[in-house]
Amino acid sequence: MAETDQSPADRSPITDHRSRISYVSTTNACKLCKPLGACLVFRGIEGAIPYLHGSQGCATYMRRYIISHFREPMDIASSSLGEKQAVYGGGPSLKQGLRNVIAKYRPALIGVATTCLTETIGDDVPGILAEFREEAAGETLPALVRVSTPSYSGTHAEGFHAAVRAVAEQLGEAGEPTGAVNLFPGSVSPADLRHLKELLRDFGLDGVILPDLSETLDGPALQDYEELPRGGTPVARLRGMGRSRATLEFGRALPGTTAGAVLARRFGVPLRSLGLPVGLRESDRFFRALEELSGRATPREHALERGRLVDAYVDGHKVVSGVQAVVYGEEDLVVGLAAFLAEIGVRPVLCASGGRSGRLAGAVQAVTEGLLPEPPAVREGADFYELAEEAEALGPQLLVGNSKGYHLARRWQIPLVRVGFPIHDRFGGQRLLHLGYRGAQSLYDRIVNALLEVKQEGSAVGYGYL
């Protein structure tokens, strides 16, 4: 741990909490590359197939990575560019690839994301797609959405948000109001999405969710292999996003112009930006928004869930109170988890992400305000090497994040409560519930029990009765 370096002047006070060396290289990245996020978004559209314009390996690696978490088929098409195309341009391969994908998958939408290769050789994807449409004049083509996702800028989370924005920009249409509510939940689990859909339904709201992975990446056993998994939000509904009566968008650290902002500017759809509803207070804000949008009070079932959650907070407070935790992962999830942990009495001492939105520190400060004896250290653009170095000195008792923290948990002999993506050393990553009162309840029970298990295991007596 380097304590000697002066912190760079451009860091906010909360980031300056601890000084650090900045490394040139990355060791064990706390992020994935941009196109992966885009592929996830396209999977959440009905009948859509993600398509990577690049060399074959990118699609294969990302498929493999996503399959490990969701344990579901994840077909991603590729232009399979070779050396010749890298020199002369990938346009013909992109067009041929689209033809083949259309022939085999009969998709309703093809989501074309670029890679570092095609960005750098300068393929004009909008131009190539325009040519493709022209050449196919008279044929019925699937919707084509393109998004620029050079893997040398940003993270998979940014690729995710860029794809959501691209869909809003390229599909959203003006016209008769639909009365629907757009919901851009960010990168959450299929279980989270099912819960969000239930909430919208129970409040009588007609939601247009992008992406909706609730079925496409958590489907049933089947008689036949489906070319494209059932589920996802239909393209027609996405076209209607410009005619919705409001947009709800989760994320306090969203980069740049968001999909919600685009719809607000272009079609005047009012935007409500909220934090990811993790924990009691961030969920309260979400429920308040649902009440206002629907004009209904929170249904009794959900109010009861809130009540039980507070009751659980009280019952278990001694187990968690004062426990020091390190939280890492995608920025918005880190913000939500920090909010949740602070309110149950756990002290997040380090909040880290591979993302660099510049908003993480402020967002963490905002959601933990007044709950912590001192603000946590916040690290943007962190990798697991730096995270480990810094956390070592803080002596955490709990890790909260994805599977990538397992080796640290093992080294320090502390529990890792797995959340977010990727979870590939356990089953059920796709069924983890993080959001709303119910999600907070599930997280709370997992954390309390993880800490109790440590206590029990480390005890000479081994009490079996609390």
Take residue 13 and report the two structure tokens written for it. Answer: 């006070």
Region 101-130 residues binding another protein, contact defined as CB under 8 A: 101, 103-105, 115-117, 120-121
Do 369 and 362 contact (CB within 8 A), yes or no? no
**Does residue 36 bind another protein (CB under 8 A)?**
yes
CA-CA distance, 391 to 462, in Å (whole number)?
29
Closer residue to another protein in complex, CB, 151/357:
151
**Does residue 43 bind another protein (CB under 8 A)?**
no
Please state the closest distance from residue 59 (CB atom) to another protein, in A: 7
Region 344-363 residues binding another protein, contact defined as CB under 8 A: 354
**Does residue 51 bind another protein (CB under 8 A)?**
yes
Closer residue to another protein in complex, CB, 146/252:
146
Please state the closest distance from residue 181 (CB atom) to another protein, in A: 33
Q: Enumerate residues 6+ apart whose C-beta is below 8 A from 151.
A: 33, 34, 35, 58, 115, 116
Please identify which residue in 40, 47, 48, 85 interacts with another protein, judged by CB under 8 A: 85
Region 214-253 residues binding another protein, contact defined as CB under 8 A: 219, 221-225, 227
CA distances from 4 to 19, 20, 385, 391, 395 (A): 7, 8, 18, 17, 19
Closer residue to another protein in complex, CB, 8/82:
82
Closer residue to another protein in complex, CB, 156/302:
156
**Does residue 427 bind another protein (CB under 8 A)?**
no
Which range, of 53-61, 284-292, 340-348, 434-442, touches another protein by CB under 8 A? 53-61
Closer residue to another protein in complex, CB, 107/396:
107
Q: How many CB atoms lie within 10 A of CB 69?
A: 21
Please state the closest distance from residue 241 (CB atom) to another protein, in A: 28
Provide the residue type at 81 as one letter: L
Please identify which residue in 2, 5, 13, 56 interacts with another protein, judged by CB under 8 A: 56
Region 137-176 residues binding another protein, contact defined as CB under 8 A: 150-153, 155
**Does residue 63 bind another protein (CB under 8 A)?**
yes
Take residue 182 and report the two structure tokens written for it. Answer: 């757009």
Do 72 and 213 contact (CB within 8 A), yes or no? no
**Does residue 2 bind another protein (CB under 8 A)?**
no
Q: Enumerate residues 6+ apart whose C-beta is below 8 A from 254.
A: 161, 186, 273, 332, 357, 359
Please identify which residue in 15, 78, 324, 442 interacts with another protein, judged by CB under 8 A: 78
**Does residue 426 bind another protein (CB under 8 A)?**
no
**Does residue 54 bind another protein (CB under 8 A)?**
yes
Please state the closest distance from residue 147 (CB atom) to another protein, in A: 16
Write the DSSP symbol of residue 254. -
What string marks each residue from 367 to 406 as x (binds another protein by CB under 8 A) or -? ------------------x------------------x--
The string of DSSP codes covering 421-463 is S---SSS-GGG---SHHHHHHHHHHHHHHHHHHHHHHT-SS--
How would you class 248 by CB atoms within 10 Å of its CB: exposed for 0-12, middle for 13-18, buried for 19 or more? Answer: buried
CA-CA distance, 318 to 246, in Å (whole number)?
42
